[in-house]
Amino acid sequence: TLSSAMIDRPPLQLVKGMPILGPFAENWKDVERFQARSDDLLIATYPKSGTTWMSEIVDAVLNDGDTEKSRRDNIFNKVPMLEFWVPGAIPPGSEVLDSLPSPRLVKTHLPVSLFPKSFWEKNCKIIYVARNPKDVVVSFYHFDKMNQLHPEPGTWEEYLEKFIQGNMGFGPWGAHVKEFWALRQERNILYMFYEDMLEDPKREIQKVIKFLGKDLSDDVLEKICLQTSFKAMKENPKTNYTAIPSTIMDQSVSPFMRKGICGDWKNHFTVSQSERLDEYYQKEMSGTDLSFRFLV
């Protein structure tokens, strides 16, 4: 079972040159061959960009804001992660998804270069959520400290350098956000920003409702905003990951629902670290019309 699983920070492994969490890489063949269905809805993100938040929003929208229905199961069961696998403890996400009835919700952190091609062939809807890299790396750092599936993060200074080098589970941030951005018009992609969601959740949830072809009343929309607020999701045992044993996620080190704000990077970066990341950011974004907000 999950609670007795021996998980001891397995090293990252390369899949087509991309660093992936070790156990996930072991199941690569099945991920690559995964059979999409045309009514699958994907929630794709670089890690720590608001995946869980968007997952709960999508589920709430599909259930017309019925809070009881949303509470039927844990978020990681309602929206299984395609590439997930803890050998001997949790079956591969690809297998779990194969056994689910349609329509399915699918979570993935895979970059475009590793996306199973079946999703493109079936023209599946994708909601992509992106977040500014300074808050992403801070959130990822705290997550790696508490999550035994991830390599030891080391010092903050070392971690930041690894992030800039792209030597992270799921690879570099820059390529991830840029490649989905470039595809958003030719593919069925709703490209969302964490900072926009914080600024005006109602406006942003409206975009999701429209993308899903739903029509919900203002009351229902208000209800969904409340149910998916940081405070509600932090208190909700079905969304706050407390169902995962502390041998895997030790929330006494850092809670999964940590801060849920924009700008916590200011409490972590020195001036020179901030300049170093600005330099990386500018280089990555040059030649694109993609840009991020670092404060809301």
Q: What is the closest distance, in whole angstroms, from the C-beta atom of residue 186 to ligand A3P in the complex?
A: 25
What's the CA gap between 174 and 37, in Å, rounded? 29
* Buried b / exposed e along 95-121 (16+ C-beta atoms within 10 A): ebbeeeeeebbbbbbbbbebbbeebbe
Write the CB contacts of 261 (distance below 8 Å, at least 6 apart in sequence): 198
Q: Which of residues 129-158 bind ligand A3P (CB under 6 A)?
A: 135, 139, 142
Q: What is the closest distance, in whole angstroms, from the C-beta atom of residue 199 to ligand A3P in the complex?
A: 11
CA-based Rg of the chain, rounded to a whole angstrom?
A: 18
What's the CA gap between 86 and 93, in Å, rounded? 10
Q: Which of 37, 187, 258, 276 binds ligand A3P (CB under 6 A)?
A: 258
Q: What is the closest distance, in whole angstroms, from the C-beta atom of residue 227 to ligand A3P in the complex?
A: 9
Query: Could you say whether residue 240 binds ligand A3P (CB under 6 A)?
Result: no
| For helices 201-211 and 51-62, angle between their N-to-C axes, nearest 10 degrees | 60
Query: Could you say whether residue 230 binds ligand A3P (CB under 6 A)?
Result: yes
Cis ω before 19 (30° cut-off from 0): no
Q: Which of 109, 142, 150, 176 is catalytic?
A: 109
What's the CA gap between 141 and 133, in Å, rounded? 12
Q: What is the closest distance, in whole angstroms, from the C-beta atom of residue 128 to ligand A3P in the complex?
A: 12
Question: Residue 125 in 3-state DSSP?
Answer: strand
Contact track, ligand A3P, 27-56, x by CB under 6 A: ------------------x-xxxxxxx---
Annotation marks residue 109 as catalytic = yes
Q: Which of residues 156-215 bind ligand A3P (CB under 6 A)?
A: none
Question: Of the two residues 164 and 225, which places its CB atom closer to ligand A3P in the complex?
Answer: 225
Are 171 and 90 contacting, i.e. CB atoms less than 8 angstroms apart? no
* Alpha helix segments (H runs only) across 166-243: 173-183, 194-199, 201-211, 218-227, 230-235
Query: Could you say whether residue 257 binds ligand A3P (CB under 6 A)?
Result: yes
Query: Could you say whether residue 228 binds ligand A3P (CB under 6 A)?
Result: yes
Question: Of the two residues 98 and 253, which places its CB atom closer to ligand A3P in the complex?
Answer: 253
**What is the amino acid identity at position 162?**
K
Question: Of the two residues 50 and 93, which places its CB atom closer to ligand A3P in the complex?
Answer: 50
Sole window of 36-44, 153-161, 175-183, 258-266 interacting with ligand A3P (rule: CB under 6 A): 258-266
Q: Which of 87, 154, 245, 260 binds ligand A3P (CB under 6 A)?
A: 260
Q: What is the closest distance, in whole angstroms, from the C-beta atom of residue 50 to ligand A3P in the complex?
A: 5
Q: Which of 145, 187, 223, 259 binds ligand A3P (CB under 6 A)?
A: 259
What's the CA gap between 125 and 170, in Å, rounded? 21
Question: Of the two residues 52 and 94, which places its CB atom closer to ligand A3P in the complex?
Answer: 52
Write the CB contacts of 45 (distance below 8 Å, at least 6 apart in sequence): 51, 54, 109, 128, 129, 130
What are residue 216's phi and psi, to 5 degrees?
-115, 150
Q: Which of 41, 124, 233, 248 binds ligand A3P (CB under 6 A)?
A: 233
Residues lying near ligand A3P in the complex (CB under 6 A) are found at 45, 47-53, 135, 139, 142, 228-230, 233, 257-260, 264
Q: Which residues are catalytic?
A: 109
